[in-house]
Amino acid sequence: MARLLPLDALLFLLPFAAYAVWLAFARGAIGAAANWPLRTVGILCLAGTALVTVGLLTLVSFSGSPPDGQYHPATLRDGQVVPGSIR
């Protein structure tokens, strides 16, 4: 699950980065507090959350084991643990 954190962070911060780029071109000032009203930040948070949700749902839908696979549990062979797998 920790390997997904960078992807989730990127998806969440993408709307903020797009807004900052728009601010840079439209107004020329990114850091002014007046350019980041609370309502805009809230909308950007909702957009980032929606992107993370869509990303996770896409990942869950199109990755993983095949639905008709059979689980073979871990076994002990010649003193070595052979990990379980889905075939």
Query: For residue 12, is it within any domain?
Result: yes
Query: For residue 23, is it within any domain?
Result: yes
Query: For residue 50, is it within any domain?
Result: yes
Range of the domain at 12: 2-62
Across the range 58-67, mean pLDDT stands at 83
Across the range 60-84, mean pLDDT stands at 87
Give just the sign of the alpha carbon dihedral 52, 58, 64, 67. Answer: positive
Query: For residue 37, is it within any domain?
Result: yes
Q: What is the pLDDT of residues 5-52, one digit of tens each?
A: 999 999 999 999 999 999 999 988 888 889 999 999 999 999 999 999
Domains held by the chain: number: 1
Query: For residue 79, is it within any domain?
Result: no
- Quick check: 59 pLDDT over 80? yes
Q: Tell me what pLDDT residue 57 has.
A: 93
Global pTM reads 0.74
Query: For residue 87, is it within any domain?
Result: no
Q: What angle do CA 27, 45, 17 make, to 5 degrees?
A: 40
Reported for 30-33, long-range contacts at CB under 8 A and 24+ positions apart, including other chains, are none
Residue 55 CB coordination number (10 Å): 16
